[in-house]
Amino acid sequence: MDTLAIKSTLDISKIRKQFPVLNQQVNGKPLVYLDNAATNQKPQRVIDALTTYYEKDNANIHRGIHTLAERATKAYETTRHSMQAFIGAKHVEEIIFTRGVTESINLVASSYGRAFLKAGDEIIISGMEHHSNIVPWQLICEEKGALLKVIPVNDIGEIDFVAFQKLLSDKTKIVAVNHASNSLGTINPIKEIIASAHKSGAVVLIDGAQASAHLTFNVQELDCDFYCISSHKMYGPTGTGILYGKKELLEKMPPYMGGGEMIKEVTFAKTTYNDLPHKFEAGTPNIADVIALNEAIAFINELGKENIAAHEAELLAYTVEKLSTMPDITLIGTAKHKVSVQSFIIEGVHHFDIGQMLDARGIAVRTGHHCTQPLMDQFGIEGTVRASYSVYNTKAEVDQLAEGLERIIKFLK
């Protein structure tokens, strides 16, 4: 979809009012929050859901028969149903609550990997993966004697699809790639990747950390086997997220952690495991945050993902227009299809210094390797400055970023 073809009709100033954190001064300047790929801000309704839960409903879920336990359980399970609809899962028990993308990937690597990988098997990831989609696979490869293969990424930050197809073979058991890159913003052709991987008999995990708040998708249409989401990157609280997995796969997989709720019956001789999704939700979960995530889903649904994407695409296009006229700035990540993330470097100036000087002007950006060190190595850099947008950002904020950068360059050069 060409998001620039759609004009955003959102009233951004009205939306901004729903985010109390935006209404503050940082270092004497109004906050300009452009670090949304790391975590985005929470609307009042999400914050209210957290306090309401603790003020009125706090109880442990599933096992209680008293009123509070029933209310908490109902609210927790409501989020599961909302998430099912949000991503288009076929069955509600395909939604497993985790701490977020990192835990979801570790769950699959550990549980699926331990059960089904053997020496000589291959796992394919891409060269633009977050460390959370590299290290869990390295751990299981080490344990099982499997091999990790990496799809090359070109100079503008796109996956080399031909090279990917060459890597695929009957040894490929898992393909794990991100839907959108956190350092470059590239939207990967995951539908094609999934179809090709399936032809080779591999299962596919999609890291959706940078997609869930920005891209419209349906897991059944994509036909991915696993899809991972972090709540805190989609206006929800930290410390929760989901693993979506196809029911037939999750049913075959052994539990990831042992403990309360994931059991049917425990004796010292043998334990039998609970049905999905509880088999993968050992221990008291992050009840309050899961409940508040429901409000984040509703917030996105009410605005409409297409509208959000259209607004963010305008911000990205405007950023590229502004920064590419500045001779000292080199943009990193200029793929054709992108979410609203723009990395850049300034020749001869360390990214940390730029970040600090922008912070002095109230502008929050991320600097560093963005947990994608191998990708930075490929570009021959230590890190970048990264501006990333959410629905509440404005063109005036992009202007402030550009103006801040101009002054920094003048000052330092």
100 part of the interface to ligand PMP, by CB under 6 A: yes
Residue 363 CA to chain centroid, in angstroms?
23
Please say which residue, 104 or 172, places its beta carbon nearer to ligand PMP: 104
Which 3 state secondary structure label does DSSP give 408? helix
Decide if 170 contacts 144 (C-beta within 8 A): no
132 part of the interface to ligand PMP, by CB under 6 A: yes
387 part of the interface to ligand PMP, by CB under 6 A: no
From the list 41, 182, 343, 400, which residue makes contact with ligand PMP (rule: CB under 6 A)? 182
Smallest distance from ligand PMP to CB 176, Å: 10
126 part of the interface to ligand PMP, by CB under 6 A: no
102 part of the interface to ligand PMP, by CB under 6 A: yes
Smallest distance from ligand PMP to CB 377, Å: 17
98 part of the interface to ligand PMP, by CB under 6 A: no
Residue 95 CA to chain centroid, in angstroms?
16
Residue 65, number of CB atoms within 10 A of its CB: 6
133 part of the interface to ligand PMP, by CB under 6 A: yes
From the list 178, 340, 342, 343, which residue makes contact with ligand PMP (rule: CB under 6 A)? 178
The pair phi, psi for residue 384, each rounded to 5°, is -135, 175
Give the pairing of strands 366-368 and 384-388.
antiparallel
209 part of the interface to ligand PMP, by CB under 6 A: yes
Please say which residue, 194 or 405, places its beta carbon nearer to ligand PMP: 194
Please say which residue, 230 or 319, places its beta carbon nearer to ligand PMP: 230
Please say which residue, 182 or 342, places its beta carbon nearer to ligand PMP: 182
230 part of the interface to ligand PMP, by CB under 6 A: yes
Decide if 110 contacts 256 (C-beta within 8 A): yes
* Alpha helix ranges (H) inside 168-210: 190-199
Q: Looking up tokens 């395909």, which residue turns up?
A: 94
Please say which residue, 140 or 409, places its beta carbon nearer to ligand PMP: 140
Q: Looking up tokens 């929800």, which residue turns up?
A: 236
Nearest 10 degrees: CA dihedral of 24, 27, 28, 29?
-60
Active site residue 371: yes
Smallest distance from ligand PMP to CB 209, Å: 3
Residue 214, number of CB atoms within 10 A of its CB: 31
The pair phi, psi for residue 144, each rounded to 5°, is -100, -5
Please say which residue, 82 or 132, places its beta carbon nearer to ligand PMP: 132
Q: Looking at this protein, which amino acid is placed at residue 32?
A: V
Footprint of ligand PMP on this chain (CB under 6 A)?
A: 100-102, 130, 132-133, 178, 182, 207, 209-210, 230, 371
Active centre residues (catalytic) = 371
